[in-house]
């Protein structure tokens, strides 16, 4: 479904992503794990068009989207819930979801919103509230719900567990799995490797802009190097 | 009653400042640009209205030509001068805006001559006065306030209820996230300039009625005063521009009424200095604190 080949991204002179290639098959949950600064978020931003790779190709459903503008990529069914949630803090919960529906018809918006509210009943209770007044966990739910509004085929989630209490992390991951079971392919970026690997099919381990290791989630979870570096064992 | 007539006088002036300040704040909210050419767009609008009315156009036609002309001019400026600098440092953009301002003033001097021309206000709005209690108030004052407030209500509706308006708010808060929602930022930027300039067109008509002597440089002082109103209200904030505009208008009329008409401009700019010292984000300015 998604195939990234030879991605090279620079921040002015800094070579941040060094020839990374990976793929995501339809229906999978794939995780990119790695330490701070390994380049996980940069990879997601490059796929969604906010940053640019100097080489290679990014093919999504068979089409190269490397040079497509970000607002057009969403229309093709690729949604990105970015790092730090980036919800619109001054808009209401409902308006945030409406923004998520931007590429979709207004006629089906209400129906879609109700579907989202099934996963996130808290958002329904607070639909009139200004998003900036939500708790961290609720904001994360809104970020995911907003991304789901565009009816994506592939959803990219950047650190959905960041800054959340352990119980909430479990809840968020449960929802991610529910979305996947409902037919959305997931590309996940996480520092919480344990949790991420437990719901993933496959994973890639990133180290300073390179893919150091790849394999099935089960293999990686029992891999000694991964255990030592990312699982705190 | 003197108080009431001066209050309406101040609100009339303030509503003009508010209309102009709205254009500053909307554009600043989206592209972080202080569009110093904004006042000069109003100058061009005032000339369009003047020529159109002198040509014996119906007032409605003249008004539509003015608003349409200002909108078109702003779109052309945005596409030719600002859009190529989208990725450039903000300072380059600011300097470009000052350049556009100087260009417009000089073009106006070249084409319309530097001498002042009388604005045929009586052809645009009905003359005459009305008595409210003991106070005598001109129709034009009331109409100016009414038209300005109506424009602001329309603007508020656009920004809060329409799809493009919501996209504007989203872009002004987080451009990257708005793009991820599928918003074409270029379209939103052009739309913002267009709406700001349409309000400037209304402002141009109201300015001509209040100060019926048009020269190529009227935009400079009007633009600066509206800029003070924008900063006072809170730069980037739409309600801030409205409040700031009305406050500056009332302040100016108060100073003049107290007999210090020569000081009116000075007091306004003193207020700018005080605001920048005491509360640089303005009345409605956002706290930069965010919940993490």
**Which of B30, B166, B180, B187 is best to mutate for the A interface (most A CBs within 10 A)?**
B180
pLDDT tens per residue across span A64-80: 999 999 999 999 999 99
Q: Given a cut of 60, is residue B291 above it in pLDDT? A: no
Q: What percent of chain B has pLDDT over 90?
A: 86
Question: Both A205 and A92 in a single domain?
Answer: no
**Does any domain span residue B49?**
yes
Record: contact A99-B291, CB cut-off 8 A? no
Contacts across the A-B interface (CB distance below 8 Å): 74
| Residues of chain A where predicted confidence (pLDDT) is lower than 50 | none
Condensed to tens digits (0 to 9), the pLDDT of residues A170-217 reads 999 999 999 999 999 999 999 888 889 999 999 999 998 999 999 999
- CB proximity list for B122: less than 8 A, separation 6 or greater: none
The residue segments making up the domain with residue A222 are 2-77+152-230
Asked if A116 and A47 sit in the same domain, the reply is: no
Pair A215, A161 in one domain: yes
pLDDT computed for residue B23 by the predictor: 94
**pLDDT for position A232:** 65
* Same structural domain, A191 and A164: yes
Q: Say if B256 falls within a structural domain.
A: no
Decide if B275 is inside a domain.
Answer: no
State chain A's mean pLDDT as an integer: 93
The count of other CB atoms within 10 Å of the CB of residue A40 is 24
CATH number where A161 lies: 3.40.50.300
Question: What's the whole-number mean pLDDT along residues B8-19?
Answer: 96
- Predicted confidence at residue B286, as pLDDT, reads 65
Alpha carbon of residue B156 to chain centroid: 15
How many CA atoms within 13 Å lie on the side-chain side of A46?
31
Exposed / middle / buried, residue A12 (Cβ in 10 Å: 0-12, 13-18, 19+) = exposed
Q: Which of B32, B288, B176 is nearest to A88 (CA)?
A: B176
**Which structural domain, as residue segments, surrounds residue B114?**
16-219
As a whole number of angstroms, the distance between CA B78 and CA B31 comes to: 11
What does pTM read for this prediction? 0.91
* Structural contact between residues A34 and A210, judged by C-beta atoms closer than 8 angstroms: no
- Please name which of A25, A48, A10 lies closest in space to residue A200, comparing C-alpha atoms: A25
Domain count, chain B: 1
| Res A228: pLDDT | 80
Please give the Cα distance from A137 to B292 (Å, whole number): 11
Token digits for B73? 């001019």
Residues of B in contact with A74 (CB under 8 A): 180-182
Quick: pLDDT tens for B37-63: 999 999 999 999 999 999 999 999 999
A113 and A157 together in one domain: no
- Asked if residue B131 belongs to a domain, the reply is yes
Query: Per the domain annotation, does B36 fall within a domain?
Result: yes
B266: in domain: no
Same domain for A105 and A56? no
pLDDT of B289 over the 80 cut: no
B170 — pLDDT class (breaks 50, 70, 90): very high
Task: Using CB atoms, pick whichever of B174, B182, B185 lies closest to residue A88.
Answer: B174
Does residue A158 share a domain with residue A73?
Answer: yes
Identify whether residues A165 and A139 lie together within a single domain: no
Task: Evaluate whether A135 touches A122 at the Cβ level (below 8 Å).
Answer: no
> For chain A, how many structural domains are there in total?
2
Q: If DSSP codes are grouped into helix, strand and coil, which group holds residue B37?
A: coil
**Do A70 and A160 lie in a common domain?**
yes
Residues A94 and A196 in one domain: no
User: How many angstroms separate the most distant Cα atoms in chain B?
Assistant: 60
A160, A226: one domain: yes
CA distance to partner chain A, nearest, from residue B173 (Å): 7
Question: Which residues of chain B lie closer than 8 angstroms to A89, CB-CB?
Answer: 173, 290-291
Report the alpha-carbon distance of residue B105 to residue B111 in Å, rounded: 10
| pLDDT greater at residue B280 or residue A76 | A76
Do A47 and A136 fall into the same domain? no
Phi, psi of B109 (to 5 degrees): -65, -40
B169 and A91 within 8 Å at the Cβ level: the answer is: yes
- Tell me if B26 is assigned to some domain: yes
Give the model's pLDDT for residue B290: 41
- Say yes or no for a CB contact (<8 Å) between B169 and A90: yes
B287 belongs to a structural domain: no
**Last residue within a domain, chosen from A97, A114, A147:** A147
Contact A88 B182 (CB under 8 A): no
Where among A98, A119, A147 does a domain terminate?
A: A147
């Amino acid at each position: 479904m998604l195939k990234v080949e030879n991605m090279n991204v620079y921040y002015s002179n800094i070579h941040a992503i060094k020839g990374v290639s990976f793929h995501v098959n339809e229906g999978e949950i794939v995780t990119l794990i790695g330490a701070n600064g390994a380049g996980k978020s940069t990879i997601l931003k490059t796929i969604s068009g906010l940053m640019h790779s100097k080489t290679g190709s990014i093919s999504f459903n068979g089409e190269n989207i490397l040079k497509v503008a970000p607002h057009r990529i969403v229309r093709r069914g690729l949604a990105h819930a970015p790092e730090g949630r980036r919800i619109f803090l001054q808009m209401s919960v409902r308006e945030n979801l409406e923004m998520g529906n931007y590429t979709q018809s207004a006629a089906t918006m209400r129906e879609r919103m109700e579907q989202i509210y099934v996963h996130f009943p808290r958002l329904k209770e607070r639909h009139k509230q200004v998003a900036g007044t939500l708790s961290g966990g609720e904001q994360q739910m809104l970020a995911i719900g907003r991304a789901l509004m565009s009816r994506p085929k592939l959803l990219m989630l950047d650190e959905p567990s960041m800054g959340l209490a352990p119980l909430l992390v479990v809840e968020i991951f449960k929802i991610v799995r529910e979305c996947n079971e409902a037919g959305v392919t997931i590309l996940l970026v996480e520092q919480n490797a344990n949790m991420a690997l437990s719901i993933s099919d496959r994973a890639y381990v990133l180290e300073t802009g390179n893919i150091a290791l790849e394999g099935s989630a089960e293999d990686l979870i029992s891999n000694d190097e991964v255990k030592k570096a990312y699982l705190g064992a | 009653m003197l108080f009431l007539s001066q209050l309406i006088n101040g609100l009339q002036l303030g509503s003009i400042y508010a209309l102009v300040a709205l254009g500053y704040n909307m554009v600043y909210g989206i592209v972080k640009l202080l569009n110093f050419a904004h006042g000069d767009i109003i100058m061009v609008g005032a000339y369009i209205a003047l020529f159109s009315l002198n040509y014996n156009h119906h007032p409605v036609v003249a008004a539509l030509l003015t608003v349409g002309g200002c909108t078109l001019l702003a779109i052309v400026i945005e596409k030719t001068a600002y859009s190529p600098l989208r990725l450039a440092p903000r300072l380059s953009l600011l300097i470009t805006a000052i350049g556009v301002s100087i260009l417009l003033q000089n073009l106006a001097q070249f084409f319309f001559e530097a001498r002042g021309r009388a604005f045929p206000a009586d052809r645009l709005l009905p003359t005459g006065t009305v008595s409210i209690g003991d106070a005598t108030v001109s129709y034009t004052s009331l109409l100016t306030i009414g038209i300005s407030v109506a424009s602001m209500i329309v603007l508020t509706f656009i920004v809060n209820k329409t799809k493009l308006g919501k996209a504007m708010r989203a872009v002004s808060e987080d451009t990257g996230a708005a793009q991820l929602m599928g918003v074409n930022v270029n379209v939103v930027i052009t739309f913002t300039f267009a709406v700001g300039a349409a309000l400037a067109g209304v402002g141009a008509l109201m300015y001509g009625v209040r100060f019926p002597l048009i020269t190529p440089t009227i935009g400079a002082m009007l633009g600066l005063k509206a800029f003070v109103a924008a900063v006072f209200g809170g730069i980037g904030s739409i309600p801030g521009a409205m409040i700031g505009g009305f406050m500056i208008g009332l302040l100016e009329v108060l100073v003049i009424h107290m007999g210090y008409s020569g000081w009116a401009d000075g007091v306004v700019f003193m207020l700018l200095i005080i605001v920048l010292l005491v509360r640089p984000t303005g009345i409605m300015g956002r706290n930069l604190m965010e919940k993490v």
